[in-house]
Amino acid sequence: MTAADLGDLTLEYDIHGEGEPLVLIMGLATQMIAWSQPFVDRLVGHGYQVIRFDNRDIGMSSKTQGRPPSRKDVMRSFAGGRFSPSDYVLSDMADDTARLLDHLDLPSAHIVGASMGGMIAQELAINHPEKVRSLTSIMSTTGNRRYGRVAPSLVPDLRKTMLAPPARSKPEIIERGVLAMRQIAGPHYSEPDVRAMVVEAAERSTDVVGRVRQLLAINASPDRTAGLHGVTAPTLVIHGMLDRLVSMSGGIATAKAIPGSRLLLFPDMAHDIPIPRRDEIADAIHTNAQRAATS
């Protein structure tokens, strides 16, 4: 792993394999290592140079300086629009991705994003279309608040993790991380695998403020639907039918918004990439990327 110095911030990244570049963008409060090595290896096996990176304010990438967001800021952010206090928005994070590609001397790449990473990937396709060979948006949504809503049954659980006061110690960070993953995962949840990833993440960084800043960025960002109508990159939308964090309607709305997109729904997937579906999802990403070669 190494850091890309982009001037006003640094992004930690790693590269696996050789071939056409493919960038993986992870979601809210989640480091790049959440893209599991077997998943990365599957994509490498398809002939891609796979690039993972930590978004700003997470993992080993730059942290925003200044006053940390308060609970009042978080609650205000859910009102949306001009009422949302935020240091940046998702389009800024898409610009980060574009700048990372420039740093790596890559004019374009296949772009894959999960959850918030899918939102960033969408922004990249809208604002930097020349950099996106193909687009895969996983368990994400358009920013239209009518779609992809959190299931009411999940809200009490989120108050114990995402909306709770910051954890005070590394063991607490680890236990809360494991709990958070369990809350949103589907029936194929594997605690040993999740715990190993969360422990590794805690070794890389114990910052607990960045996740809040990223949440504010999501809430402050506008609806992307109109912009998605103009996306021309071959697009695949993947969503779990059991997703309670970003409901399936978010994936359906994304697929409807992007002309020519393809929608892949899994009945046994929630807000995770389940191990039994991991190879199938990687293969679907490869199939979509091949559409760019023939379009």
For residue 42, the domain's CATH number is: 3.40.50.1820
pTM, 2 dp: 0.96
Name the nearest CA neighbour of 162 among 271, 66, 245. Answer: 245
| Tokens describing residue 84 | 């949302």
Number of domains the chain contains: 1
| Tokens describing residue 77 | 């952010």
Mean pLDDT of the 232-244 span:
98
| Domain containing residue 88 | 2-294
Q: What is the pLDDT of residue 74?
A: 76
pLDDT digits (tens, 9 = 90+) for 73-121: 776 777 765 567 789 999 999 999 999 999 999 999 999 999 999 999 9
| Tokens describing residue 50 | 């796979």
Q: What is the pLDDT of residue 295?
A: 62
Taking the CA of residue 272 as centre, how many other CA atoms within 13 Å lie in the half-sphere pointing to its CB?
Answer: 24
pLDDT digits (tens, 9 = 90+) for 35-48: 999 999 999 999 99
